[in-house]
Amino acid sequence: MNGQEVYTRLIENYNESGLSRSGVSGKRLASRISDISEIGRTEEGGSHRIGFSKEEKQAKQLVMKWMTEAGLEVKEDGAGNVFGRLEGRDKQLSALLSGSHADTVPNGGHFDGILGVLVALEVAEAWKETGYIPEYPYEVVIFSDEEGARFNDGFTGSRSMTGIVDMEKQKKLIDYEGNSFEKVLNQVDLTSEQFFSAKRDLKEIEAFIEVHIEQGILLEKSDIPVGIVSGIAGPSWLEITYRGTAGHAGNTPMNHRNDALVAAGELVCHIPSLPMKVSSTAVATVGKMEVKPNGINVIPGEVTLFVDIRDIYEHTRDELIKLVINAAEDISKKHKIESEYNEVLKIEPVPIKEKMMEKLKRSIEAKGIEPFFLPSGAGHDSMILGRFIPTAMLFVQSKDGISHNPLEWSSLNDCVHSVHVLKHFLENY
């Protein structure tokens, strides 16, 4: 779909008379979703705006233009995070933040991340239309490089803002094109000096609420437009390497092989049985594998695979990590090949505090929606901020649970419901 097709599909079954009220415009939100969808459009009709790319920057600049037109004071920090601020009635209060990210995975969808930014901005637009001034200062935020597609890392902007970036590790990062972190920053007019000075005084922030598509099927199965996130799973990424012996595929007898891919394949097949041993909410996925020499007629001598391990509880997530590592080592011994592992990412899960869930529950009930609580298996910038400040998340129903895919979709009705819930939450905080 092109941008016009995205807009047409969004407004096709939109309940304008019931939802475009109190200054909120569903058609404005739909138009902006479609405009952003044109930036980094792929041949398959998806979005390709990886972190610190010219496409991510272009999307930010367009939103910054809309922020200015909505009367927000716009600033960008050294990590490329964007803040659009509206002063509140009480200037002594810390700010309420809402937003998400503008980057995508390669060939991703049109709602992941950017919907949360545009929903937060639509609240400011509604206040402008009605002349409402919130009690708390309000900031709409766009975080840089949430997805981590460029460096096999993630949450770069929110980690920088909260000051939890490992400087030495960050400087050593190399992207898939062989570019250093410094060079990548320079390509979007940022410097490492600016980046490592982007830490913000978190006393300036009262709370953060992020609106995001569910990326799952629970809300759709229950026919509920929005839901309250009860906890955010903390991801761990394990890099596991098997080293065998490369050899000729025709001349090496089967009982004299040290095939690294056979061992890796056995681990891939074994991993799905492990999460259920620790928790009903735990998951583990092998989504990336590198085979060397990667020739049709060559026995694989080295295989590196990446295991994404998540749960909303830290102790069960860490128990699952141990099970995967133990399985990898047992398989290497069985096949008499070497193995090693490296934990390239580990972020603590974040349970949402009861007080924040209760505030969000009241706002959902005020809009005539049945409260529905669900965990987030995906990581979000809320997971980073939630370690330091009160944080809440509102999920919007996803069609068929599809995400990180050009087919990703949420109805405009559900998206606008999230605007009204967020608006009530902020006005009654």
Point out the annotated binding site. Answer: 101, 112, 147, 212, 404
Largest CA distance in the chain: 80
CA dist., res. 173 & res. 170, Å (int): 5
**Based on C-alpha coordinates, what's the Rg of the chain?**
23
The two tokens of residue 406 are 């050009």
Backbone phi and psi for residue 320, each to the nearest 5 degrees, phi listed first: -65, -35
Give the pairing of strands 373-376 and 283-292. unpaired
Which amino acid is located at 334 in the chain?
Answer: K
- Report the run of H or E that residue 362 belongs to, with start and end: helix 354-366
Say whether 427 sits in a helix, a strand or coil. helix
Cα distance between residue 145 and residue 103, in whole Å:
6
Q: Which residues contact 76 (CB under 8 A, 6 or more apart)?
A: 60, 64, 82, 83
Which residues fall in the annotated binding site for Zn(2+)?
101, 112, 147, 212, 404
Start-to-end Cα distance in the chain: 39
Q: 75: helix, coil or strand?
A: strand
DSSP state for residue 52 in the 8-state scheme: T
